[in-house]
Amino acid sequence: MSGRAGVPAGVRGSGRLAKALLVAFALAALGELVSVAADSRTGQLLAKPLLMPLLAAYAAARGGPRTLVAALLFGWGGDVFLLSSADGAFLAGMGCFAAGHLCYLALFARRRTRRALALAAGYGLLLALTLVPLWPDLPAELRVPVAVYSLLLAAMAYRASGLGVLAGAGGAFFLVSDTLIATGVAEWPRPPAVDLWIMLTYLAAQALLTAGVLRAARRPGPGHE
């Protein structure tokens, strides 16, 4: 049955569901940021596990690629592991995020990156300027995993620009967020309220990557599964 103005009722319903899920994600994100700012462990335990499932559900309701939903759910796994202080939790979380980056790279695989050479050189230089001085200060058991993850993250950030400004900005924010985490692992001096900046840039990254992929998916073209 068609709804008002010739719009099928099912389409209107999925649109309302998507909006509701986006609002729920925004509220959970606000709750997480307030909890981080207030250093409320309880608030973070309640809010953080909701973030990526809500964003993934929003992407699915918008008809987004399954690979995008998978990337966000891997991000949820990383979020949950990083809430734990158990042995191996950090590596497990990094592994989940690495799997998410592989999903993003699969989405970006057939998209041409503008100014490819200059952008690749810029990300390569940034990676070298970050990883080389960090290396001796990282725990020995984390050096190789962090280096491999950093290469994967930089590749994702570079390729994200092929989907446009939104996804490109999302990739850059992800790089900033994880670089701030790495400086903490190396026990470098960090700016005030660094945990808030980590979460703010991470949320911006995932939201912008999602928006960029969904926008690109509405345009005919290769690269979406």
pLDDT of residue 118: 81
pLDDT of residue 121: 87
pLDDT of residue 77: 98
Tokens found for residue 176: 């900033």
Q: How far apart are CA 142 and CA 205, in angstroms?
A: 24
Specify whether the CB–CB gap between 76 and 63 falls below 8 A.
Answer: no
Phi, psi at residue 3, to the nearest 5°? -95, -165
pLDDT of residue 168: 94
Other beta carbons within 10 Å of 18 = 19
pTM (two decimals): 0.89
Specify whether the CB–CB gap between 187 and 179 falls below 8 A.
Answer: no
Specify whether the CB–CB gap between 144 and 134 falls below 8 A.
Answer: no
Question: How big is the chain, counted in residues?
Answer: 225
pLDDT of residue 222: 46
Q: Which residues pair with 8 in a beta bridge?
A: 2
Residues of the chain under the 70 pLDDT cut? 1-13, 112-115, 219-225
pLDDT of residue 223: 42
pLDDT of residue 14: 78
pLDDT of residue 114: 64
